[in-house]
Amino acid sequence: MTEPLPAVHSGGLRNDLVQLARHAHAELIADTSHDLESHEIKDGDIRYRARALAPLCSEGEIDVLVAMIREQLFGLGPLDPLLADDSINEIMINGPGPVWLERHGALVPSGLTLDAEELRLVVDRVVGPLGLRLDRMLPFADARLPDGSRVHIAIPPMALDGPYVTIRRFMRDPLPLRAFADQPVVDLLQTAISQRRNLLVSGGTGSGKTSLVNSLGGTLVRSERVVTIEDAAELRLPGQHTVRLEARPATAEGLGEITMRTLVRNALRMRPDRLIVGEVRGAEAFDMVQALNTGHHGCLSTCHANSPHDALDRVAAMVLSGDARLPPEIVARQVRSAFDLVVHLTRAADGKRRVDSVIEVASDEERQLVAHGAVVS
């Protein structure tokens, strides 16, 4: 039987409601008559528990308490309001304490503080439904939320003050190309897409590479068969004929791994009009470059690099990791033959992400098309 708890005191309203929500959450978890995975618990059941625990609370406080219990049962608890805010790009939790945000490119405190129990709930709600392993032997995990947001979790002993949780938000609506460049550069990129040229998008972490590819994808012919390959699915293309492939890590038993290289090989058998590799970072570069050199046009890929020239060198190094027997000079030539343009993004001090430079690649020379965000005349 549910025992009533002391009345909520106005001086510490949120803390009191948090404690009440935890009690109700524990009781509902212990009640085996409910199937939490199917979200079958009705608001009436939750309200009954809340009212029994806090009979002196007002209706308004009970409404808040019911919402908090639902967040703990089915969402990420106190993080749910942040996940519903489309202006937030990233959520960062550095162990128990304040939660930080990236909003409009700037790091700001959220005003929310998590204690150890709330943080444990967040971690459990992320890894539990996915069956991911997270322990001292494997103290990190990558996951994806139902809305497509990417999550990275690190726990002790790797994270000294952890758990650390970083959530990269998935943007529901692609940004317009004008968000990345002035109109002359936008026209250049749109022309390259319509002419089915192969583009490599480069930049540092958080520079907007995937966001730009999403925006470029919005300009594709809707009837084209586009196959996307990603380590963590983030692309949302509007076409009517899009095939999405996603890599998968091995299970705790070392089984079931699906590598990016495996996905690239399978994608080539799916009759793609365009191939989009969300981010090339390993041996899959070998198969991708071979495909682009054998008649696949209009393809897009991204990689981390400091400049367009570094991007080509990095892809060449990744190709060699896929087959070290190839002579480096042959690999460098094949990489430059595979891509027509390299589009490089930078992130300014104010957080804005812009196309900084574009080079046209040829086997023997490179031509600068855009420099410092402006078309070279």
Say which CATH number the domain at 160 has: 3.30.450.370
| Residue 253 within a domain | yes
Whether 63 and 17 map to the same domain: the answer is: yes
Share of the chain above pLDDT 90, in %: 51
CA distances, 65 to each of 18, 43, 54, 122, 256 (Å): 8, 11, 10, 18, 41
Count the domains in the chain.
3
Q: How many angstroms separate the CA atoms of 164 and 354, rounded?
A: 29
Model confidence band, residue 250 (pLDDT cutoffs 50, 70, 90): confident
Whether 198 and 259 map to the same domain: the answer is: yes
Share of the chain above pLDDT 70, in %: 86
| Residue 160 within a domain | yes
| Residue 220 within a domain | yes
pLDDT in the model for residue 151: 93
Cβ atoms of 334 and 310 within 8 Å: the answer is no
Beta-carbon contacts of residue 59 (< 8 Å; ≥ 6 apart): none
| Residue 120 within a domain | yes
199 vs 115, residue with greater confidence: 199
Whether 161 and 290 map to the same domain: the answer is: no
Q: Among residues 168, 193, 208, which one ends one of the domains?
A: 168
Model confidence band, residue 10 (pLDDT cutoffs 50, 70, 90): very low
| Residue 1 within a domain | no
Q: Among residues 114, 136, 168, which one ends one of the domains?
A: 168
What pTM does this model have? Answer: 0.77
Whether 259 and 357 map to the same domain: the answer is: yes
Whether 231 and 353 map to the same domain: the answer is: yes
Q: Does position 24 have pLDDT exceeding 80, yes or no?
A: no
pLDDT tens per residue across span 120-129: 888 988 887 7
Whether 292 and 364 map to the same domain: the answer is: yes
Which CATH number characterizes residue 307's domain? 3.40.50.300
pLDDT in the model for residue 29: 54
pLDDT in the model for residue 53: 74
Domain extent at residue 14: 10-74
| Residue 5 within a domain | no
- The 10 Å Cβ neighbour count of residue 127 is 17
Of the listed ranges 50-59, 141-150, 158-167, 211-220, the least confidently predicted one is 50-59
254 vs 179, residue with greater confidence: 179
Q: Does position 119 have pLDDT exceeding 50, yes or no?
A: yes
pLDDT in the model for residue 6: 38
Q: Does position 43 have pLDDT exceeding 70, yes or no?
A: no
| Residue 230 within a domain | yes
pLDDT in the model for residue 9: 36
Kindly state the average pLDDT of the residues 305-330. 91
Q: How many angstroms separate the CA atoms of 67 and 63, rounded?
A: 6
pLDDT tens per residue across span 64-78: 777 777 766 667 878
Kindly state the average pLDDT of the residues 110-138. 86
Whether 272 and 149 map to the same domain: the answer is: no
Q: Residue 197, by phi and psi: left (phi above 0), alpha (psi -120 to 50) or beta?
A: beta
Kindly state the average pLDDT of the residues 9-35. 55
pLDDT in the model for residue 22: 64
Whether 204 and 112 map to the same domain: the answer is: no
Whether 273 and 317 map to the same domain: the answer is: yes
pLDDT in the model for residue 278: 87
Whether 117 and 37 map to the same domain: the answer is: no
Kindly state the average pLDDT of the residues 262-271. 93
Q: What are the backbone dihedrals phi and psi of residue 286, each rounded to the nearest 5 degrees, phi first?
A: -60, -50
Can you say how many angstroms the Cα of residue 265 is from the centroid of all Cα atoms in its chain?
A: 23
Q: Among residues 33, 50, 74, which one ends one of the domains?
A: 74
pLDDT in the model for residue 253: 74
pLDDT in the model for residue 184: 97
Model confidence band, residue 2 (pLDDT cutoffs 50, 70, 90): very low
**Of 1, 117, 7, which Cα lies nearest the Cα of 48?**
1
Kindly state the average pLDDT of the residues 92-106. 92
Highest mean pLDDT among 125-139, 141-155, 305-319: 305-319
| Residue 2 within a domain | no
SS3 65: helix
What mean pLDDT value characterizes the chain?
Answer: 85
Radius of gyration of the chain (CA): 24
Give per-residue burial for 27-62: e unless 16+ CB within 10 Å, then b.
Answer: ebeeeeebeeeeeebeeebbbebbbebbeebeeebb
pLDDT in the model for residue 231: 87
Whether 187 and 279 map to the same domain: the answer is: yes
Q: How many angstroms separate the CA atoms of 360 and 73, rounded?
A: 52
Whether 232 and 368 map to the same domain: the answer is: yes
